[in-house]
Structure 1
């Protein structure tokens, strides 16, 4: 599983989003489920729930590099009263020429109903239609300002549940790490996953994490000074794969821990 430098940069952006959530989480004394839902009301919007299924990069026909993207990040937190809180942020980006880009985070006042996305701040109204046409799987048509557009994508977002499995190191240092189980992603119920990660010699539960279904990147705090970045994917006959990188939150230094692989469970 190879990841380019640009993919690493994108993974770091997911890491930063998780850090931002955790900073907001740490800034409040009341961490009950009710208080957290209020604190993160901007990440708990009805417009975001179904819109996330259309996450992807849409090429706009008849333009020189024009595009529209939907970028989704999902975060799970555990409240002090032991409730699981699911948060979602979706950013809409539009470019008519592939150079100048307009970005907007979905917020109150935006709507998504019947496949129609309306964003007043962008003067945007786009209809999403899921249908297979010449290799594309979703079609879009509508307007941004006075500009009419038609586009499509070949992409489907990939849920974290796709990567359920037990991951063992296949490469990296020290050598004794080889074949050591370092990550477990197991289905817990219809709404959540049980995630555990190797820390100081034993698998420990990961309560709070952020996942991006377009980049297959998961990030979470390993401890107070470091954040883990998991770049998930496939490894041919070896099944699933996970490239593990640790980011030092004090210095921003990145250290690649190794590559873990697993046969699907």
Structure 2
């Protein structure tokens, strides 16, 4: 319960400032060591998810406060896409959570890192990512993923125009009817899903462990992306399963008006850190 909102806000701002002060020498302790990629299996995925839930339970109130903005952003995007003109982009927008999810999880990765190190952890520590020596790489990779999402949206619109377009759907029900009952609708769905799969595969390959690695050590973006690709290449089945788990949980979290994402996102964000720790040494 917050008895003094102004005082509470001041305390939170102070905590955030403390979190983003100059970084200690902990960063870069293994900067010159080439990451070693190991083999992981389904047991490791279960372990990472279990640890993710433990982290979520340990800082549950703080994490919910941190992540509530993400579902609200999704609700805003859904509202923007509620008009008939943007109906063809509703699914790509909703699916886009999988592409930019790693960006939203960076702060959660940092919180898990601190808990693993036995440090006191609060929501304000999520902002500590801005003082990482690798912040440039983190920002650049975030922009790359956002550009990939934009690319997906543009391609989705192109697919619609060349199948069911160029006019916007008459209504949502008419749009759904066309998808399931017309050859053009089926073609749009098949091509659109294929395009989305390729974009999701690219996002998974370049960001599966990139953000946690950039937080864990002073490394270049090239090293982080290359290491992430090596993890996927060495564990294709396991990482494909991880991608499906992430997609499935995001879908389940989106069903109740995206409110489930308040719980799904932090668990996945924390789990990503622990998956990185299992896959990279």
Interval of TM-score (by shorter of Structure 1 and Structure 2): under 0.3
Structure with a larger share of its residues in helix: 2
TM-score, reference length from structure 1: 0.28
